[in-house]
């Protein structure tokens, strides 16, 4: 018998609906889902912590409590990013331990733990904490293809994880690129090595090979397969649950699940799928076998295309693809999963736009120092020299990255105490500790729930609807770009520059500003008019938000001095002076959005 791990409540909508499914969409069908007898249900973790507080005005802790209560018969599982928990950076041990304690207390039974680099040191603390709290550890290895990621590599690491206390094991093929033979060989290898824990295969339909890979995995003895109910399956999401159940029916691997009940559940989720139709991306539904050639995951590709468009360089797509593969090799073949996909992808974009390793992001530096963990293969020495300088050896750490972090819980607790309008519960402190800015806004009741397709006042293809969607969901900008013919994809010409929209019955005057962003009258104070071209003008070579100013008027600067930092493509980058002189004028302030070519300062 094979069992299924159902992902409609987490991975599926994270893959296809920008993680926007709400608790209110889950509860009405919970009772029926609970009757199926799934091995486990993925309901929490990953982006389902960040998105609810940021976009849905929903408390993630309340969600897990409600789901646990509504589905008492099925284990509730969360995706836990090792020392990154449910964010994108390392946390100290005290936060990781406390988080796992709280997650278990609020209703999580199974913890799927993975580290982007498969650095097992990063997995120790979360694994031990889950065991201490009586939870089930599902230890994962991130799957990727490279000369170092051999069958032996995976089998040896699984052996170690099995000794570290894993209850079940999992191959996490987040990019959906595992081939049938590869799936067979790794699972067979694990079984032949005498590893006793059941093994799970997690994949996505991206390459189009996944149905075949699942069949071969079954033949090799896989115990659990990851699927998602059909309305949010296929393409960049997982293979469909009902299809896998039907395919295995009557064989020795029969799941024994009630197919009729599953089809009934399907009908419900079709309505949920429709409720978020403004987020549908047609390309995400297609298979993309090109991933098998260049090993760059589909999700990362669409992200890169979007980032290139932001930087006004969408013609460089092919170059970036080749560069991404090259950077990944130079950096020791990290699996391309959050956060390493971002490190590699952004560095590749920088290399193509500005020359190889001419602009180096803070994240690339941290990666090379070992702050994410140990890369699967050594980073090329010439790259280390370029990134960290001639004394690169002194900069590299050889301890576990979190060993360098100070405990944080008490500090965050006393910080939150200052905000007397926030109830000081452990869960609230944790929300604040993980996402200090967004979390605090949410805890203070200042977050607002986004609209759904049903709230849209105008037809979906209406210009104003496009404008509203673009405003609320910057990341779906590419959806609208895709629906336009190529010659119309840039320039604000076909979009009205000023109009009135109604939100919750209240009219808002909306004005399109030249960068393509929106300005709501009265809500945002107008930025001072920036001059276009002047002597000694320092311009931004990327689109982003100014994080900090490192100089003030009258300061003397030299070539190469850092004058400001900018957040572009979710990464912090330094802006350096290209001339010697004095800062005569500054045209930006911290928090400003700037476009490529915008004037920042005058240095004469
Ligand atoms: Co996944």
CATH number at 595 reads: 2.40.50.100
pLDDT surpassing 60 at residue 485? no
Question: Strand order of the sheet with strand 498-503?
Answer: 498-503, 506-512, 518-520
Percent of the chain with pLDDT over 70: 85
Q: At what angle do helices 426-434 and 93-106 cross, to 10 degrees?
A: 130
Q: How far is the CA of 293 from the centre of ligand 1 (A)?
A: 20
CB count in 10 Å sphere of residue 598: 20
Range of the domain at 571: 534-603
Q: Give the model's pLDDT for residue 468.
A: 59
Is 313 domain-assigned? no
Q: How far is the CA of 196 from the centre of ligand 1 (A)?
A: 24
Is 100 domain-assigned? no
Q: How far is the CA of 173 from the centre of ligand 1 (A)?
A: 7
- The mean-pLDDT minimum among 197-201, 363-367, 387-391, 474-478 falls in 474-478
Q: How far is the CA of 29 from the centre of ligand 1 (A)?
A: 22
pLDDT surpassing 90 at residue 34? yes
Is 141 domain-assigned? no
Q: How far is the CA of 49 from the centre of ligand 1 (A)?
A: 16
Question: What is the arithmetic mean of pLDDT over 483-498?
Answer: 44
Q: Give the model's pLDDT for residue 511.
A: 42
Assign 321 a pLDDT band (cuts: 50, 70, 90): confident
Q: Give the model's pLDDT for residue 458.
A: 62
pLDDT surpassing 70 at residue 475? no
Assign 579 a pLDDT band (cuts: 50, 70, 90): confident
**Nearest by Cα to 320 from 334, 301, 295:** 301
Q: Mean pLDDT over all residues of the chain?
A: 87
Q: How far is the CA of 389 from the centre of ligand 1 (A)?
A: 37
Residue the block writes with tokens 């799970």: 200
| Alpha-carbon 346 to chain mean position | 14
Alpha carbons within 13 A on the beta-carbon side of 428: 18
Q: How far is the CA of 414 from the centre of ligand 1 (A)?
A: 36
pLDDT surpassing 70 at residue 70? yes
Percent of the chain with pLDDT over 90: 62
- The mean-pLDDT minimum among 26-40, 292-306, 412-426 falls in 292-306
Q: Give the model's pLDDT for residue 484.
A: 55
Assign 540 a pLDDT band (cuts: 50, 70, 90): confident
pLDDT surpassing 50 at residue 467? yes
528 three-state secondary structure: coil
pLDDT surpassing 60 at residue 508? no
Q: Give the model's pLDDT for residue 471.
A: 56
Assign 164 a pLDDT band (cuts: 50, 70, 90): very high
Phi/psi of residue 514, nearest 5 degrees: -55, -30
Is 49 domain-assigned? no
DSSP code of residue 40: E
End-to-end CA separation in angstroms for the chain: 75
Q: How far is the CA of 106 from the centre of ligand 1 (A)?
A: 23
Q: Give the model's pLDDT for residue 482.
A: 57
pLDDT surpassing 80 at residue 356? yes
What CA–CA distance (Å, rounded) separates 332 from 378? 5
What are the C-alpha distances in Å from 192 to residues 152, 165, 196, 220? 12, 20, 10, 10
Q: How far is the CA of 88 from the centre of ligand 1 (A)?
A: 16
pLDDT surpassing 90 at residue 116? yes
Q: Give the model's pLDDT for residue 600.
A: 87
Assign 523 a pLDDT band (cuts: 50, 70, 90): very low
pLDDT surpassing 80 at residue 180? yes
Q: What angle do CA 195, 197, 198 make, to 5 degrees?
A: 115
Q: How far is the CA of 518 from the centre of ligand 1 (A)?
A: 33
Count how many domains the chain has: 1
pLDDT surpassing 90 at residue 442? yes
**Nearest by Cα to 200 from 177, 219, 223, 221:** 223
Q: Give the model's pLDDT for residue 478.
A: 53
Q: How far is the CA of 242 from the centre of ligand 1 (A)?
A: 18
Q: How far is the CA of 471 from the centre of ligand 1 (A)?
A: 27
Is 204 domain-assigned? no
Is 588 domain-assigned? yes
Q: Give the model's pLDDT for residue 592.
A: 81
Of 214 and 480, which is predicted with more confidence? 214
Assign 83 a pLDDT band (cuts: 50, 70, 90): very high
CB count in 10 Å sphere of residue 375: 19
Is 579 domain-assigned? yes
DSSP-derived secondary structure for 219-281: HHT--EEEEB-GGG-STTSPPBHHHHHHHHTTSTT-----HHHHHHHHHHHHHHHHHTGGG--
Is 404 domain-assigned? no
Q: How far is the CA of 174 from the centre of ligand 1 (A)?
A: 5
Q: Which helix (H) or strand (E) holds 593?
A: strand 593-594
**Nearest by Cα to 76 from 22, 24, 25, 6:** 6
């Amino acid at each position: 018998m094979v069992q299924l791990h159902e992902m409609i409540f987490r991975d599926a909508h994270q893959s296809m609906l920008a993680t926007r499914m709400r608790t209110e969409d889950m509860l009405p069908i919970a009772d029926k889902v609970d009757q199926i007898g799934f091995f486990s249900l993925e309901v929490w973790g990953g982006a389902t912590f960040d998105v609810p507080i940021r976009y849905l005005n929903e408390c993630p802790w309340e969600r897990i409590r409600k789901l646990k209560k509504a589905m008492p018969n099925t284990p509730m599982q969360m995706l836990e990013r090792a020392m990154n928990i449910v964010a994108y950076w390392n946390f100290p041990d005290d936060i990781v331990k406390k988080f796992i304690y709280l997650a278990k207390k609020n209703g999580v039974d199974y913890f799927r733990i993975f580290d982007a680099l498969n650095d097992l040191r990063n997995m120790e603390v979360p694994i031990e904490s889950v065991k201490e709290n009586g939870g089930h550890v599902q230890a994962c290895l991130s799957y990727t293809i490279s000369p170092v990621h051999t069958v032996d590599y995976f089998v040896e690491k699984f052996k170690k994880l099995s000794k570290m206390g894993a209850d079940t094991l999992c191959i996490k093929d987040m990019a959906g690129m595992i081939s049938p033979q590869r799936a067979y060989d790794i699972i067979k290898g694990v079984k032949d090595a005498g590893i006793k824990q059941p093994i799970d295969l997690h994949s996505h339909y991206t390459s189009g090979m996944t149905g075949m890979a699942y069949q071969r995995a079954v033949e090799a003895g896989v115990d659990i397969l990851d699927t998602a109910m059909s309305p949010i399956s296929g393409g960049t999401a997982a293979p469909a649950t009902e299809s896998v159940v039907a395919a295995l029916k009557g064989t020795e691997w029969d799941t024994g699940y009630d197919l009729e009940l599953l089809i009934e559940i399907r009908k419900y989720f079709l309505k949920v799928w429709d409720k978020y139709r403004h987020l549908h991306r047609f390309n995400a539904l297609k298979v993309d076998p090109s991933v098998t050639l260049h090993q760059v995951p589909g999700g990362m590709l669409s992200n890169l295309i979007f980032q290139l468009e932001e930087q006004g360089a969408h013609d460089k797509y092919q170059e970036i693809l080749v560069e991404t593969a090259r950077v990944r090799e130079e950096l020791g073949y990290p699996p391309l999963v959050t956060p390493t996909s971002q490190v590699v992808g952004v560095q590749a974009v920088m290399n193509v736009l500005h020359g190889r390793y001419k602009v180096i992001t803070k994240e690339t530096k941290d990666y090379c120092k070992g702050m994410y963990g140990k890369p699967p293969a050594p980073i090329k020495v010439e790259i280390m020299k370029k990134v960290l300088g001639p004394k690169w050896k002194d900069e590299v750490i050889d301890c576990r990255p979190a060993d360098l972090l100070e405990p944080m819980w008490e500090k965050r607790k006393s910080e939150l105490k200052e905000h007397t309008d926030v109830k000081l519960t452990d869960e609230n402190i944790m929300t604040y500790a993980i996402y200090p800015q967004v979390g605090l806004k949410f805890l203070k009741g200042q977050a607002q729930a986004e609209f759904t397709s049903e709230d849209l006042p105008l037809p979906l293809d209406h210009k104003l609807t496009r404008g509203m969607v673009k405003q609320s969901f910057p990341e779906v900008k590419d959806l609208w770009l895709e629906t336009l013919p190529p010659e119309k994809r840039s320039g604000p010409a076909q979009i009205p520059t000023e109009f009135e929209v109604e939100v919750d019955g209240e009219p808002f005057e909306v004005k399109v500003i030249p960068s393509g962003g929106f300005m709501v009258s009265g809500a945002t104070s107008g930025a001072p008019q920036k001059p276009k071209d002047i002597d000694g003008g320092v311009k931004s070579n990327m689109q982003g938000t100014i994080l900090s100013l490192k100089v003030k008027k009258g300061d003397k600067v030299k070539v190469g001095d850092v004058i400001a930092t900018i957040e572009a493509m979710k990464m912090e980058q330094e802006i350096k002076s290209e001339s010697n002189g004095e800062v005569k004028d500054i045209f930006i302030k911290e928090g400003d959005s700037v476009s490529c070519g915008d004037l920042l300062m005058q240095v004469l």
